[in-house]
Amino acid sequence: MLAIHALPFEEPAVMGPEAARRPAARATAEEAGALFEAYGERVRRYIAFRVRGIEEAEDLAADVFRRLLSGPIPPDEAARPAWLFKVAHNAVVDFYRRRRPILSLVGLAERPDDAPSLPDRAIRDERVRAVDGALGTLAGSQRTAVYLRFYEDLPYEDIATIMGMPAVTVRSHVHRGLRRIAAELGEADR
C-alpha cells in the first residue's frame, strides 16, 4: 500500500532569478548563508591543504568569509563557486607574498608551499604516503592546480579563472605535478 504524504524534507533555499539580475552587490543574508553552507567546507579544506600554520589558516578562512559578507559578489550564481575559490586562492597567494617579500610573484609560484602533510593515522596505504611526500615538493602553482583538478574535480576553465592564468598553463602545471608524483610513486615501488 503506497501512501503519499506531503514532502516533509527540507530542501536548501534556491536563489530566485531576481538575484541573478542584480548588479554586483553585497550578498544578502540568504545568499551568504547558502554560499557558506555549500562551499565553506571546501574553501576551508583548500586553505588547510596549502597553509601549515593553524593561526594563519584561521585568519585566511576568516578573511575569505569576511570578504563574502563585506564586498560585492558576482550576480551570476553560476560564477560564485569559482569566485569564492579565487578569493581563497588570492588570500593564500597574498599570505605567501607577505612571508616571502623578496621573491617575485613568479618565484613565489615556483616555490613549494609550506603546507601540512597528512597525520600518520590518516595514511593507510604506503602509496598515499608517497603521494603525500611528493605533494610537499610541488611548486605552489602545481599543488594548487592538482588540488583543484583532482580534489575538487573542477574543469580546467574554472581553475584557470581561479588561478588567473590561461587554461593551457593550468594543464601544464597539472601535467608536471603528476609527473613528479609518478616519479615518487615509482621510487616507492622500487
Partner 1 sequence: MSGGQRQPGEMDVLELAEAVAAGQLTRTQAEATLRERHAGDAGALAADRAELDSLVAAIGGVRRHAAAFREASDRHSAETVTAGGVSVDPRPVGGSGVVLRPGRGQRNRWAAPALLAAAAVVVVAVVVGSNLATAPVAGSPSPASSGIAVASPSVSSNPSASGAPSPIATTSPSVAPTAVPEVTAGSTAAPGLPSIPNAPLPGAPIVTYWTLDTETSMMISTWAPDGSAPAFTFSVTTWADPDRSGGNAIDRRVVVSPGGQRVVVAETEFSPSARARLRVFGTDGSVLWTDPSPTGTPDLVWSPDGLTLVIGSQPATWKIVTFGSRGAAATVKTRTFPGQAYRVLGFSKSGAILYGWDTQGEAEWWETPFQVPVTGGSVTPITRFSGKAEPIAIANGTTPTSEVTPADSSSLLQPGVDPKTYRVLDLGGASGSGGWEIRDGAVVTPLLLTGSPSLAWAADGDIARLNNYTSNAGNGLVLGTVAASHPVVSTGPAFTTAGGDYRYQLVGVRGATALLGLTSHTSDGVTAGVDELVAVDLTTASSAVLVTASAGLTGLHVAGWINGG
Binding site for partner 1 (CB under 8 A): 2-12, 29, 32-33, 36-37, 40-42, 44-45, 47-49, 52-54, 57-58, 61-62, 65-66, 69-70, 116, 118-128, 130-132, 135, 146, 150-151, 153, 155-157, 167, 171, 174-175, 178-179, 181-183, 185-186
Smaller CB separation from partner 1, 41 or 94: 41
C-alpha grid cell for residue 6?
506531503
Residue 45: how many other CB atoms lie within 10 Å:
14
Smaller CB separation from partner 1, 70 or 98: 70
d(CA 12, CA 20): 17
Smaller CB separation from partner 1, 61 or 93: 61
Give the residue among 144, 142, 145, 150 at the shortest CA–CA distance from 183. Answer: 142
Which helix (H) or strand (E) covers residue 72, if one does?
strand 72-73
Smaller CB separation from partner 1, 20 or 69: 69
d(CA 186, CA 190): 7
Question: Residue 174 Cβ, how far from partner 1 at the closest point, in Å?
Answer: 7
